Amino acid sequence: MWLCVLLSIAVLVIFVLFYNKIFAVTFDEDFARAAGTNAGRYNLLIAVVVAVIIVLAMNLVGSLLISALVIFPALSAMRIFRSFKAVTIFSAVLSVVCSFLGIVISILAGNGTPVGSTIVAVDVAAFALCCLAGSLVRRRAA
């Protein structure tokens, strides 16, 4: 557990410290190179951070459900927000909330549901809610 906490903190610190460079490389790699950013180094950093996240998540949900655990919070955030920073923050918060709710629901179900599958089911429900919220936000803006 301490290893997971330590690696989670390391991922968070790396992201906060290199936010501008990561944003530049993910948004427009050619422009980042033209601005003097070593895009290869930051692509490697992003790959290592994603690998660490996958390794951390593998213990929780298993190897088959990791893609859903990584993709759904980001997709949900993109339904509501348009800025990179807002999507990143909202998807991180949503991921933690969905994981917590999935664990609690699994425990309350009395071992009737696997933890990983329950977390992904909560992620799917959150995605549906975010789709609804996103359509309401866009209607109001129009």
132 residue type, one letter: L
Containing structural domain, residue 42: 1-61
Domain shared by 76 and 133, yes or no: yes
Give per-residue pLDDT as tens, 4-47.
Answer: 778 778 888 888 898 888 888 888 888 888 888 888 898 898 88
Domain shared by 44 and 67, yes or no: no
Choose among 133, 49, 76, 125: nearest CA to 117. Answer: 125
What's this model's pTM, rounded to 2 decimal places? 0.71
Gap between the terminal Cα atoms of the chain? 47
* Dist CA 56 CA 79 (whole Å): 26
Give per-residue pLDDT as tens, 107-141.
Answer: 888 767 888 888 889 999 999 999 999 998 888 87
Domain shared by 57 and 115, yes or no: no
Q: How many domains does the chain have?
A: 2
Residue located via tokens 């329950």? 118
